[in-house]
Amino acid sequence: MALYNVGKTIREARIRAGVSQEELCFGICSTPTLSKIEGCKQNPNKKTMEALLQRLGLPVGIYNISVTETEFKRASIEREIENKIAGSDYDIQELLERYRTLDKEMDALEEQFYLFMNALCQKALHTALNEVLALLEKAMCCTVPTFTLQGTGIHPLMTEIELMILNTIAKTEYTLQKKESAISRMYAVRNYFLHCPIDSVVFGTQYPVILFNLSNWEGLQNNFEAELALAEEGIEVCNKYGKLAYFEMLIFNKGFALASLNKKKEAKRFFAQAFYIMDAKNKQKHKLYGIKYVNEQFGYDFLEE
Q: What is the pLDDT of residues 147-191, one digit of tens each?
A: 999 988 888 999 999 999 999 999 999 999 999 999 999 999 999
The confidence band for 5, taking pLDDT boundaries of 50, 70 and 90, is: confident
Distance between CA atoms of 10 and 12, rounded to whole angstroms? 6
Show Cβ contacts of residue 135 under 8 Å, excluding neighbours closer than 6 positions: 115, 116, 118, 119, 122
What is the average per-residue pLDDT within 84-96? 94
Q: What is the pTM of this model?
A: 0.94
Q: Tell me: pLDDT of 143 over 70.
A: yes
Q: What is the mean pLDDT of the chain?
A: 94
Q: Tell me: pLDDT of 132 over 50.
A: yes
pLDDT at 185: 97
What is the average per-residue pLDDT within 118-138? 97
**pLDDT digit string (tens) for 22-54?**
999 999 999 999 999 999 999 899 999 999 999
Q: Tell me: pLDDT of 67 over 90.
A: no
Q: Tell me: pLDDT of 89 over 60.
A: yes
**pLDDT digit string (tens) for 247-298?**
999 999 999 999 999 999 999 999 999 999 999 999 999 999 999 999 999 9
pLDDT at 1: 39
pLDDT-above-70 percentage for the chain: 99
Q: Tell me: pLDDT of 3 over 60.
A: no
What is the average per-residue pLDDT within 219-226? 97
pLDDT at 252: 98
pLDDT at 4: 62
